[in-house]
Structure 1
């Protein structure tokens, strides 16, 4: 093993480029129709649907102290 340094890893240029791209993502971001639509879906629509379902089904199921064979609904 004359002269080889086995404790060092060879740097892959593609991995370095990916790391730099992820680190500087904010510099290259642009608002397009696609990014605006995706942002709208994740910021407005998804929390709205989760909130609506939580409001609609609030209090219908009692999950505390349930055993095998007990009913989930309180109706």
Structure 2
């Protein structure tokens, strides 16, 4: 049992920098036209599309008490 530090691993400097960057990302964020477009798309456009599809198909499909050969659509 020679040596006391067998449990330590050498850390890759690139991984250490990546870890520091991801934990401190809020400090370096800036609003640019690109980040504004991406934020708009994920905060407004995607939920609007999902909501529209949910609204149009509301009550159209009924999966309860169906047997083989029955149609899933109600209308």
Moved over 2 A (4+): 1-6, 65-70
When the two structures are superposed, what TM-score results if normalisation uses the length of structure 1? 0.87
TM-score (norm 2): 0.87
- Unaligned stretches of 5+ in structure 2? none
Q: Which position in structure 2 is the counterpart of 1:6?
A: 6
Q: Which runs of 5+ in 1 are unaligned?
A: none
Structure 1 Cα separation of the partners of residues 68 and 10 of structure 2? 57
Q: How many residues end up aligned between the 2 structures?
A: 75
CA RMSD of aligned residues (A): 1.6
